[in-house]
Chains A and B, each alone.
Chain A
Amino acid sequence: MTTQPEARPRLTPAPPEVSWLGMPPFPEAVKTELRRSQQRKNLAHATHTIRGKRALRASEVDNWEELRTAAENIKDRVGRHLDEYLLQAEAAMQAAGVTVHWARDAADATRIVTDIARAKGVDEVVKIKSMATQEIDLNEALEEAGIAAWETDLAELIVQLGHDLPSHILVPAIHRNRTEVRDIFAEEMGRYGTPAPEGMTDDPTELTDAARAHLREKFLRAKMAVSGGNFIVAETGTLVIVESEGNGRMCLTLPETLVSVVGIEKLLPTLEDLEVFLKLLPRSSTGERMNPYTSLWTGVREGDGPQDLHVVLLDNGRSRVLSDPVGRAALRCIRCSACLNICPVYERAGGHAYGSPYPGPIGAILNPQLRGLDSPVDKALPFASSLCGACNEVCPVKIPFTDILVHLRHKVVEKKTEKHPTGEQALMKTTGRVMSAGKNLEKVQLASRGAGLVFKNKWLGPMPIPLASRWLQARDVEAPPTQTFREWWDKEHRPSAAPGETAGGQGSATEEER
């Protein structure tokens, strides 16, 4: 995010000075985030609520697992034949009157959108909530070009007016509670349009009324809208957007020009395939049986909706992800956020700690692949998980998150230079050697037994030992025993002889000092 030259005042609220990749890596960021009591309370409440709703809605569908498998297969087929489906989609869209643009990266995409806006002579656009435009930081590119981009999704509006960054894919202001929202609206709305009413409370109805009045003015004025897209149907060239608030419908029907920035992985082969995803997405995402607004449009129709339609097909690292046989499953993602909502790490860290508009488990596997493993932020992300696997189970397209995380960890390790081996590398090399033969482990156990003799059945408390202190700062640990299992086996184990008898009363847990 760049600072604005003095000459021209900003058109839209300035986001924080720090860029995503300029943020501290996950383990550092977490130290701060864990101390934000209000945010943790907000996040715990929101994630637990939506988690429960998702589970209920998924359980209502008899063939839920079959739907997940179907979605996985459809998305994998798209990936395998992406070149063909892209050309098919382009031809179908062009035949329907859509101008199709190809963007290799974020710079390409933002330039294309800016050029369209300039050609149309507009100085503002209204936006439907879109992850692709967050990914390419489109709003700031437009701001620099003197074009104001107004977010019209309620939560994106809260983030934008709050000079903030999104922290969740579906609910970007999930880290805010309604009192904070009230304060942001009261303070900021008047600076950028219709102000919030005097004396507005934090009652949700009053807050949405204020947002409605503030946005209505912008909808009616706007000549150009910018959206993302949930799906593009290759056979028909149909663009699909699902949303909950109706703001999308406003953007799709009122402005004369519509530009949709869509990742190249968003294709579906046929309209029939859409059925699978329209069942899976709302139930996985908002925990609703059906989302309130589903818009499908195929090209330009005279006298109905936008008369100038542009689709920007965005690569921005996706074809590189596709070339990785393990990592490519991440491209199945339909941005439902079920993985965020179930994640015990996300629930406590919040979204900003992931250094990207894609937070949570999907962010941990997508960002390092889309952006590469060059920055400290991206190198830390594959490790920002306890590998508990809760995300694997809720993902509607069956992304094997934990397998991809482990795969990316290996890539991080491969990048470590052999010239300057780290302590971790040395430790892993040694451990690998120890564990490659029983006799090696026995030698190490001589040391653990020695420590056992020194500490004799004691619990060990905080100690200033490197690495170990990270564990011992909060946990005690039992001293190692003087006798390992294998030593017990050699010296004391006698197989139980006859039916009904126990093994001589030795080795029972309850006898021991724990």
Chain B
Amino acid sequence: MDLTYSEEQVSIQRQARRFFERECPLDEVRRAWASETGLPEPLWRRMAELGWLGALLPEAVGGGELGVTAFSRIVEEHGRGLLPGAFLFHVLAAEAIRVAGSAPQQQALLPPLARGESRATLARCMEGGRFDRSGGRFYADEQPAGYLLFGEKLAVPGLAQAGQIVVAAVLGLPKDLDAGLAFFVVPRTAQGVVVTPLRTLEGGMKAASLRLDGVRVPATARLGAADRPANGAAVLARVSQLADVALACDALGGAARVTELTVEHAKLRTAFGQPIGAYQAIKHKCADMLFATENLRALVDWAAWVLDAPNADASPALASAMARATAIECYDLVIRHGTQAHGAIAVTEEHVLPLYAKRSKTLALAFGGLAYYQEQILRESGYTTPPVRRA
């Protein structure tokens, strides 16, 4: 048993905090959120030099082989600094290619992603505000010389800057949608790819809607060997679990920062002759923020370990869902208490708290909301699924 971060993990986290504070202070975050492209190109190149863009990839394709725990140390700082989010989706897309791609596909696609020469994102499963786990709403039709892709998604995060889009699509007319899921890598510039930028609550994710209007791709665009295509359900599971731990970690960094800011404020601001943090009405809010954040930290550390360790005592689907559900409620509580303790200044445009509030809700709603993860926890704990209610 060892419940500490390794020296390497501690030093990566320290480096990430210094780097984000220096290279992307709050003014820069605000500019990036307001811009069309999000994360500034020089920052992106520096992150590539640090090896973060290929954090989870094998060294053979230029990756850092950091493992989920070390990667989670970077992501916590990413959330703390409110970094415009393309980084997360880039790493997730690369992970999909690593898990699903054949050796030649990995050799061709991954080194440019690790070097940051090309940005990628992952078009998963959002449509009309609804979410389901299946590849949903993208369809692939097998053709003599490749595939024809159709369908649309309302909001794909990171799409504004992506050159490569990893698309999960339902192939043919399978009985079981998950089993029939195939993964494709589609260049943004392909004929029939229609991207429409969206204005969003939080400006950093740079979501756009994506329509595939009969996009022709060669057979090699489908991830996996030609005679042995990737198991779509397994790929989706791994990428979803990684996404859930990463988003929980981003929330952890943000929630911990808001707690710090609130405690600082409660020590400095005085009312009725003493700092407001001396009153239990405020003090107990701060304690609850600490409590929620530390509980989330315990869970995130464990979930990252479960994803890394082949001999872990729990299923990755359970651990990641627990981390995500807890992150959603933790960040929500921290934002509510933090805003209340700050007073009216915290609801103004100039204050930093609303930036965290927008981030928190965007993370909470991404890839399914709280109820989705609560149901996943129950399913993974052996509870039966309720029958679908019909009107």
Do A and B interact with each other, yes or no? no
